[in-house]
Structure 1
Amino acid sequence: MLKINLAISDKYPAVQYFLCNYIRQELGCNIIPEFSLNEEHALRHTNQKPVDAIITDLSYCSDGDQLYGVSKIRAIKQRFPTAKIILYLEYNNSSILKKTLNYGVDAIVSKYDAVSEIKKALCEVFVKKHSIAWLSKNIKAIIESDIEKSSRLTAKEWEIIQLYSMGLSLSSIAKKQNRAVSTIATQKYNAMKKLNVNNNSELIQYACINNII
């Protein structure tokens, strides 16, 4: 049994309802209904019950007011500075996952994992008290796969990705390296394919998150 005050927030009401009941039955946690029913109120008001942990996704929108991604994590950490944050995500983009790790979450679980991974995440965070974020099986596999893919890039491909992400055009890179534009374009395409990024915007985002530029 894990006697903690737990808040659960998910954009899908059915997921939220299921998690509340599952965790209450499996771990005996005290679920805070006020947070679950009205996240906006919980984030913006201070007269709430103490919160030990929050299971949340990365999106919330109410009457035009949005809390999304990193902004939502910041809002939670500001309002509940001592609460553990367990992200429950449906994304499989490694760049997004790496960025969330940089903002001090305590665990990340994929919605493609078995629901028992949520139970395990809470136990790992509160019982074993890891110094770094605990990752579920699917999340760990995604990140490890990304590391493997990035290691396949040649030195030239890395250089082109870096220069392009810094704002240089393909023709400028070709001139700088005294090579044909078609060669540079081919190597850029090959690098993007290896990194599993679909367009230039995702490529630049990847470069920023991974400190390539």
Structure 2
Amino acid sequence: MKVMIADDHPIVLSGVKALIENQNKGFKIIAEATSVEALFKTLSKEKIDILITDYSMPNNDYVDGIAMINKIKREHHNIKIIVLTQMTNTALLNSLVRSGIDGVLLKKDVLTDIHHVISVVKNGGKYISPSVSNLILSRQRTLTEPSPKELEVLRLFSSGMSVSKIAIHTNRSIKTISTQKKQAMIKLGLEHDSEIYEYIKSLD
């Protein structure tokens, strides 16, 4: 099985590579990448069976996160995708799991989980690490879905509209839009505006 590893942190990349090679269970690492651009360039030239990739990496015109995963799936149908991430936002993790990837684990679990996730994925299974599963379950117990109007505000905001422009577009007050945006983020556990973009991309 030909394996590629993509991560912008050299220590993580070399650590994962060493863990896989030390086991020598029929997996050969044939490529590495430290950026989204390098990742897609390699995929266009090499036949990869399993891609182990960070969720978010430096990029120029290339997308990352959910959009990156979806682009890989569209253009390289046969690649098994395992995502390594430090992300603990439960809404985004849940979206990542729903995206149809083959495996996901937190970087802190690489040492204990990496061999198991590769074996499961190799045999056609799906692997969600216990840490990720627990985070998603905690979200289901404590968070709620935004209302249709709150979700509309997030979609318009992610499209590039400001709060004041959304107010004009929806015929609501700026105060109402600000409140609906804030409430939606609280319900989804989103802490930064950048997470709004990621969440909305995961719904498309």
Instruction: Give the TM-score taking structure 2 as reference length.
Output: 0.69
2:190 is the alignment partner of 1:197: yes
Structure 1 CA distance for aligned equivalents of residues 74 and 202 of structure 2: 23
Which residue matches 1:177? Answer: none
From the superposition, tell whether residues 173 and 147 of structure 1 become closer, same or farther in structure 2 (CA, over 3 Å): farther
CA shift at 1:117, angstroms? 1.1
Structure 2 CA distance for aligned equivalents of residues 18 and 204 of structure 1: 31
Unaligned 5+ runs, structure 2 = 157-165
Number of residue pairs matched by the alignment: 189
Structure 2 CA distance for aligned equivalents of residues 67 and 160 of structure 1: 28
Structure 2 CA distance for aligned equivalents of residues 189 and 144 of structure 1: 23
Q: How big is each residue's C-alpha offset from its partner over 1:2-61, in whole Å with a ceiling of 9 and x where there is no partner?
A: xx221111111111111111111124343333x21553431233xx2x322110012344
Which residue matches 1:43? Answer: 43
**Conserved in 2, the CA contact under 8 Å of 1:160 and 1:173?**
no
Which residue matches 1:108? Answer: 104
Which residue matches 1:88? Answer: 84
**Conserved in 2, the CA contact under 8 Å of 1:112 and 1:138?**
no
**Conserved in 2, the CA contact under 8 Å of 1:84 and 1:106?**
yes
Q: Which moved more, 1:74-83 or 1:6-15?
A: 74-83
Structure 2 CA distance for aligned equivalents of residues 22 and 31 of structure 1: 12
Which residue matches 1:72? Answer: 68
> Root-mean-square deviation (CA), in Å?
3.7
2:94 is the alignment partner of 1:98: yes
Structure 1 CA distance for aligned equivalents of residues 189 and 8 of structure 2: 27
**Conserved in 2, the CA contact under 8 Å of 1:113 and 1:137?**
no
From the superposition, tell whether residues 29 and 6 of structure 1 become closer, same or farther in structure 2 (CA, over 3 Å): farther
Structure ID, larger Rg: 1
Q: Within 5 A, what are the aligned runs for 1:21-170?
A: 21-33=18-30, 35-36=31-32, 38-45=38-45, 48=46, 50-61=47-58, 64-127=60-123, 129-130=124-125, 133-150=126-143, 158=147, 161=150
SS at match of 2:100: coil
Which residue matches 2:11? Answer: 14
Unaligned 5+ runs, structure 1 = 175-180
SS at match of 1:73: helix
Which residue matches 2:161? Answer: none
Q: Which amino acid aligns with 1:92?
A: T
Structure 2 CA distance for aligned equivalents of residues 209 and 149 of structure 1: 21
Structure 1 CA distance for aligned equivalents of residues 179 and 96 of structure 2: 32
Structure 2 CA distance for aligned equivalents of residues 57 and 88 of structure 1: 5
Q: Which amino acid aligns with 2:131?
A: N
From the superposition, tell whether residues 31 and 60 of structure 1 become closer, same or farther in structure 2 (CA, over 3 Å): farther
* Structure number with higher relative contact order (C-alpha < 8 Å, ≥ 6 residues apart): 2
**Conserved in 1, the CA contact under 8 Å of 2:81 and 2:103?**
yes
CA shift at 1:192, angstroms? 5.0
